[in-house]
């Protein structure tokens, strides 16, 4: 049986070299992608941490987990659904969690879903508790709780950062598993680039401010329905942003500060890349690269000023699209010869070597829901059956498509883009709102306050979203009560700035209902 190393990054959009972003220095993730199958169009089912993580780890949509906020545990609230690690554990794997895999707190029963999901107690880095405290040295020499927080690691509490500790722990566990008779499933959840942007300050040097542009569309689009806008309240609470005295809800943030936010996000991505690099290089050194599937993904994206928005909390591509990369030994890359390294550590500060050849890529629209059946199949376990509708009573089933067909070994002459009929494929996302216009709780409404649900479908050609009335007691969306709509065409409007919904009324567009 193949081992599994699942790397889940918090709030990482596909701003990576391997996804075509020329500015970003991500040599280790790019090297992983060069040995992998990379999905160009992968989407999260809800652009906020806990709902997305519970959805991807159970393989069920938010309408099945009934988690749209942070305040319920699916096993108590909707159904006793099996998780990916639980399924591997029940099939003889040693399952281990390091860092932020499940969202901590109520939504994973204050235990990261132990003992169901994990063979040993989950590990959380001790320095995580300082993330939101005053640890950012400002120009005044004092410590602040800022959004932008480049630090001297020697100067922070415990002299380390959470993602460094998680890498060290993951490497220790890999070392222990090397001699184990059982296969392992190791999930590693990295915190950065989640806010605050607290990262070793040397990474700032990779992104001189004069090289940083604004988002291509930094204005709030004229045709954006107010219900679709998220007011990024979490950022406004940071001391450095408070000092800007921004107007609520639309901002805008001064251009020079926008550049600094983008600089810090990109610096966090390069810092994260070094952690992924050390982890993969350890996998190599332990000679586990020929027997371990590696998946790299994220719980959702993050807006960096697009549409005048910041953070997640929306249905746009910038917040729902995620990296999704699978390395499968012998399938996506030849098995390493004895003594050969597949993943030697690459230093992002080295002068740029010739960019790594991309590996195989798939352009199909896929959902994070597909992780469950696809990982099971790649590891050689039986693929769980498709869920009936409804499936609250079924413990083990999947709502996502199995992506195994993409991994069939092919002739090298064949076009690297895998042929299929992309017209048939759809990715669903959704986002709740407490009202038709931006409120203090629009980003993260509690279940009882949800009045409107935005159901969004992304096809090859368009993104179509309807904001409909929602009853949180019955968990019922009323598709005949349409509050607003959005329609963006991918080819002519890749940034989703020109809402064509009102021009399309009467056109035969499909209703976005869960398939």
Query: Among candidates 2, 189, 182, which has minimal Cα distance to 92?
Result: 182
pLDDT, residue 410, reads 56
Give 297's strand partners. Answer: 8, 324
103 part of the active site: yes
- Our answer to whether residue 49 is catalytic in this structure is yes
462 half-sphere exposure, CB direction, 13 A CA radius: 14
CB 237 within 8 A of CB 444: no
Q: Are 467 and 225 in contact (CB under 8 A)?
A: yes
Question: If the chain, 515 residues long, is cut into consecutive pieces of 10 residues, what is the mean pLDDT of each piece?
Answer: 97 97 96 97 97 98 97 97 98 98 96 98 97 90 95 95 98 96 97 98 97 96 96 96 96 96 98 98 96 98 98 98 97 89 94 72 95 98 96 97 86 48 82 98 98 97 97 97 97 96 66 50
CA distance 468 to 448: 16
Q: Which two tokens stand for residue 38?
A: 């990379």
Distances in Å between the Cα of 137 and the Cα atoms of 155, 156, 163, 199, 506 are 9, 10, 20, 12, 57
Omega of the bond prior to 389 within 30 degrees of 0, cis? no
* pTM exceeds 0.75: yes
Region for 273 from its dihedrals, namely left if φ exceeds 0, alpha if ψ lies in -120 to 50, beta otherwise: alpha
Could you give all domains of the chain from N- to C-terminal order, each with its CATH number?
Answer: 3-126+153-230+255-420 (3.40.720.10)
pLDDT of residue 413: 42
In 353-495, the DSSP E strands lie at 360-367, 427-433, 452-458, 462-471, 476-489
Alpha-carbon distance of 378 to 375, in angstroms, equals: 5
Q: Which member of 18, 49, 136, 268 is catalytic? A: 49
Q: In angstroms, what CA-CA distances link 465 with 55, 255, 372, 506?
A: 20, 30, 26, 15
- One DSSP character per residue, 361-387 reads EEEEEEEGGGHHHHHHHHTTSPPPPBP
- Catalytically annotated residue among 18, 77, 103, 300: 103
């Amino acid at each position: 049986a193949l081992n599994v190393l699942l790397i889940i990054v918090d709030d990482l959009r596909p701003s990576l070299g391997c996804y075509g972003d020329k500015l970003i220095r991500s040599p280790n993730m790019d090297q992983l992608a060069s040995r992998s199958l990379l999905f160009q169009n992968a989407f999260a089912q809800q652009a906020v941490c806990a709902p997305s993580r519970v959805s991807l780890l159970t393989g069920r949509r938010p309408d099945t987990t009934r988690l749209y906020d942070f305040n319920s545990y699916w096993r108590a609230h909707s159904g006793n659904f099996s998780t990916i690690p639980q399924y591997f554990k029940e099939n003889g794997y040693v399952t281990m969690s390091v860092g932020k895999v499940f969202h901590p707190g109520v939504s994973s029963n204050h235990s990261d879903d132990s003992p169901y999901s994990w063979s040993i107690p989950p590990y959380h880095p001790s320095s995580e508790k300082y993330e939101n405290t005053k640890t950012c040295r400002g120009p005044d020499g004092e410590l602040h709780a800022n959004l932008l927080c480049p630090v001297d690691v020697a100067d922070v509490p415990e002299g380390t950062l959470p993602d460094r500790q998680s890498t060290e722990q993951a490497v220790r566990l890999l070392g222990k598993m090397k001699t184990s008779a059982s296969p392992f499933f190791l999930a590693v959840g990295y915190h950065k680039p989640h806010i605050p942007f607290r990262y070793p300050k040397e990474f700032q040097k990779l992104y001189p401010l004069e090289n940083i542009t604004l988002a291509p569309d930094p204005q709030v689009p004229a045709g954006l329905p107010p219900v679709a806008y998220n007011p990024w309240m979490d950022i406004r609470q940071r001391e450095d942003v408070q000092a800007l005295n921004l107007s609520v809800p639309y901002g805008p943030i001064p251009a020079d500060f926008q550049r600094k936010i983008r600089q810090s996000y990109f610096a966090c991505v390069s810092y994260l890349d070094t952690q992924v690099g050390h982890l993969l290089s350890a996998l190599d050194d332990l000679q586990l690269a020929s027997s371990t599937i590696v998946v790299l993904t994220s719980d959702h994206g993050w807006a960096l000023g697009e549409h005048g928005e910041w953070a997640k909390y929306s249905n746009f591509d910038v917040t729902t699209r995620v990296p999704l990369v699978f390395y499968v030994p012998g399938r996506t890359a030849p098995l390493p010869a004895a003594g050969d390294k597949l993943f030697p550590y690459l230093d992002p500060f080295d002068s740029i070597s010739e960019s790594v050849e991309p590996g195989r890529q798939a352009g199909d629209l896929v959902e994070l829901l597909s992780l469950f059946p696809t990982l099971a199949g790649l590891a050689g376990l039986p693929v769980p059956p498709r869920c009936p509708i409804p499936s609250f009573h079924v413990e083990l089933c999947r709502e996502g498509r199995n992506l195994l067909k993409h991994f069939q070994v092919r002739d090298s002459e064949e076009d690297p883009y895998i042929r299929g009929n992309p017209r048939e494929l759809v990715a669903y996302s959704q986002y709740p709102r407490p009202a038709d216009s931006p409120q203090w709780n629009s980003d993260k409404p509690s279940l009882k306050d949800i009045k409107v649900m935005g159901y969004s479908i992304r096809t090859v050609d368009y993104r179509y979203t309807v904001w409909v009335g929602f009853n949180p007691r019955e968990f019922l969306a009323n598709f005949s009560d349409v509050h607003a709509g959005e329609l963006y065409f991918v080819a002519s409007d890749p940034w989703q700035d020109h809402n064509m919904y009102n021009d399309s009324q009467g056109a035969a567009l499909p209703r976005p209902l869960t398939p």
